[in-house]
Amino acid sequence: MPREKFRTLTEQMFYVLLCLKEECCGMDILDRVPEMTAGRVTVGSGTLYNLLEQFLEMDMIEETKVEGRKRSYLLTQKGQEMLDREYERILAQAEDYRRTFERGM
């Protein structure tokens, strides 16, 4: 069964939204995500373009500035809630991992 759209976020979705905690344009996101993650996560240019379109459609981000073709975006309240939910899920996973391996100690 296909995953419900944005029910859980992939790493790339997570970091794109994280970048948009502050106003940021699309091309800067392409550079910031690998910087933030020490090169561990990269977002393809095509994937980023489509993600921004979908996030806009779902009101997870909003367009704040348009300078020619350069568009800047910012996280909305809904986007923040989805990031928070994903963060809680990751924490819960990490806690399950910690408890499982500490039981053996």
Partner 1 sequence: MKDTKRRFELLSFYNHTGIERHFEKMAREGWMIERLSNLGWTYRRMEPADLKFTVTYYPKASEFDPNPSEGQMTFHEFCEHTGWQLACTWFQMQVFYNENPDPIPIETEPAMEVDNIHKACKANYLRSYWILLVISAVMGGLFLVSLFKTREVLPDSLLEDPNMMVTGIIWTILALYCGVELFTYYRWHSRAEKAAEQDIFLETPNTVGFQKSMMVLVTILAVYWLASFLFSETPEMLPIGIAVLVSIFGAQLLGERLKRWMRKKGVPTGLNRFITLLTVFLTVFLATGVIVAVGVILEQLK
Report if residue 58 touches partner 1, rule: CB under 8 A: no
Helices 26-36 + 11-19 axis angle, to 10? 110
Structure tokens at 2: 């296909």
Report if residue 2 touches partner 1, rule: CB under 8 A: yes
CB of 21 to partner 1, least distance (A): 21
Tokens 């996560």 found at: 41
Of the residues 17, 20, 51, 60, which one makes contact with partner 1 according to CB under 8 A: 51
Contact 6, 58 (CB under 8 A): yes
Report if residue 50 touches partner 1, rule: CB under 8 A: yes
Report if residue 61 touches partner 1, rule: CB under 8 A: no
Phi-psi category of residue 39: left, alpha or beta, with phi > 0 → left and psi -120 to 50 → alpha? left
CB of 44 to partner 1, least distance (A): 4
Interacting residues with partner 1 (CB under 8 A): 2-3, 10, 12, 26-27, 30, 42-51, 69, 71
